[in-house]
Amino acid sequence: MPDIKYVVFSDMHLGAENSLLTNLKDDTPQTDTTQPGPVLKQLMKCLGELINKNESTGKPKLILNGDVAELALTTTNKACMAFQRFIELAMPESGDFLFDKNILFLPGNHDHCLWEYARDSYYNDSLKNIPPGEYIPNEFHSTKIFSPEYIPSHFFNSLIQSHPYLGDVSVRVSYPAHGVINKDRSKCIIFCHGHYIESMYWLMTTLRSQIFPERRPPDTFEEIEIENYAWVDFFWSTLGRSGSVGKDINLIYDKLQDAAQVNKMISNIAESIAKKKRNPVVRWLEKKGLKIILEHSLGRMAANERNEPDVELTPDAMSGLETLMEVPMLNQLNQELNNDIPDDLTFIFGHTHKPFCRWMHFDGYQNKVKIYNTGGWVVDTLNRQPLHGGSVILIDENLHVILLQIYKEGNYKVTLNELQHDHSRQNINHAFHERIDNQIRNNSESWVELERVIERQVNIRYKNLAEIIREQ
């Protein structure tokens, strides 16, 4: 039977009070990251039951596909401790590890700063090996998709290796995309967090295009990141941890989930600025103008991808995904694979917190591409979002993919989802599906308990968010 070779997590947001994988103190909005939460404990128990049925001796590779540690909307120490609780369950001191000792990490927008830390350290270390007077290459902002340089995450490695028994476990960083390909190069899987499918992450590029419309738009990951990395890092990895300002940013983020609170906040900001004008006519005009500007900034942030409840991908994200796949991804794949892109290609991303799988056509690819979204583990809205939920991706040695959907809000039944291959390959794919399905059925008590725990924890976070918004 096919073994599990890769396990993919994304959008865990460890440390955030609205993450189901962060432990809460007495069901309040206060976190207790000294202990693992009930969802994380039960989830790792269930995954362990699947992985321990592998017939091979090797452990599956863990791929952390972005927004793993919440470094935008909580304090660093809470994110650090929550990550350690995850690692302790994944690699317990008993030695019964669930995963291989080499972990792959692809930063997202909420932990983008970890990419900056990693690439800066790697670049600075390389400078020591260049003799004075010789050419010094410029710093880099992205890695190869296939066979990238080994760039260690000193941040995660420090947290992991602080456990004496985990001294030989290491985390490598790739950004923004990483690929695995089979031996005959007929099939490959690309992993990417996916924040660049939303136009708000291209803000600097958009501003540049408005000021200098004759300039060529970026068409590689390197160029996109060079133009926008400072903005992404500032707003999603730094601002929320900036002391008392950061606490207010967190509150603003929470209030963005409630349309009434957004309108009230916009009116308060506009009124506060405009009332400094003595002339009542000027004051009225300025307030009116400020409200228009704020509605197009804060208002649009409130209507971002995760806050659109009725579609898996909004038109903005759909257009962004097409651009991502047809321009920088296609260019880099053609360059690295000598214009010989495999016929069978899968793209796995997260970011939107809405798990799904579907076939999609993109210009430049011979066949349709299999698209999988891993969803997310955050409850950041006041009301049920039926498309929001958390999943784990399982991949076997033949690069067959299963979306193990753990839950969607309002639907707490664990399900298996996949995109079928052509008729000649269905039997192989069916074997992997059958194996996972049978093991879940054989350990149904564990999975039913996971469903029960998640439902309870989701409802607690609805209540907590309402209290936060109401009290501040």
Q: Give the pLDDT confidence of 181-218 residue by residue, as tens digits.
A: 999 999 999 999 999 999 889 988 988 888 888 889 99
Q: 72 and 220: one domain?
A: yes
| Domain-terminating residue out of 232, 266, 301 | 301
Give the pLDDT score at 196.
Answer: 97
Q: 197 and 255: one domain?
A: no
Q: Report the number of distinct structural domains present in the chain.
A: 2
Q: 391 and 424: one domain?
A: yes
Give the pLDDT score at 294.
Answer: 46
Q: 30 and 165: one domain?
A: yes
Q: 207 and 352: one domain?
A: yes
Give the pLDDT score at 438.
Answer: 94
Let me know if residue 340 belongs to a domain.
Answer: no
- Between 339 and 286, residue with greater pLDDT: 339
Q: 295 and 255: one domain?
A: yes
**Cα distances (Å, whole numbers) of residue 335 to 145, 174, 225, 233, 396:** 10, 17, 18, 28, 27
Q: 156 and 248: one domain?
A: no
Give the pLDDT score at 130.
Answer: 96
Q: 202 and 216: one domain?
A: yes
As a whole number, mean pLDDT of residues 318-327 equals 97
- Between 154 and 304, residue with greater pLDDT: 154
**Contact 173/151 with Cβ under 8 angstroms?**
yes
pLDDT tens-digit profile of 147-173?
Answer: 999 999 999 999 999 999 999 999 999
Question: Residue 51: pLDDT above 50?
Answer: yes
Q: 128 and 222: one domain?
A: yes
Give the pLDDT score at 209.
Answer: 87
**Contact 78/115 with Cβ under 8 angstroms?**
no
Q: 434 and 287: one domain?
A: no
**Cα distances (Å, whole numbers) of residue 10 to 110, 140, 384, 411, 452:** 11, 24, 21, 20, 22
What confidence tier does 428 reach under pLDDT thresholds 50, 70, 90? low
As a whole number, mean pLDDT of residues 398-427 equals 84
**Contact 395/5 with Cβ under 8 angstroms?**
yes
Let me know if residue 396 belongs to a domain.
Answer: yes
Question: Residue 93: pLDDT above 90?
Answer: yes
Let me know if residue 334 belongs to a domain.
Answer: no
Question: Residue 40: pLDDT above 70?
Answer: yes
Of the segments 190-194, 305-309, 315-319, 430-434, which one has the largest average pLDDT value?
190-194
Let me know if residue 391 belongs to a domain.
Answer: yes
Let me know if residue 337 belongs to a domain.
Answer: no
As a whole number, mean pLDDT of residues 384-413 equals 96
Range of the domain at 222: 4-240+304-326+345-471
What confidence tier does 237 reach under pLDDT thresholds 50, 70, 90? confident
Q: 231 and 255: one domain?
A: no
Question: Residue 389: pLDDT above 60?
Answer: yes
Q: 247 and 388: one domain?
A: no
Question: Residue 231: pLDDT above 80?
Answer: yes
Q: Is the dihedral of CA 374, 378, 383, 384 positive or negative?
A: positive
**Contact 221/174 with Cβ under 8 angstroms?**
no
Let me know if residue 110 belongs to a domain.
Answer: yes
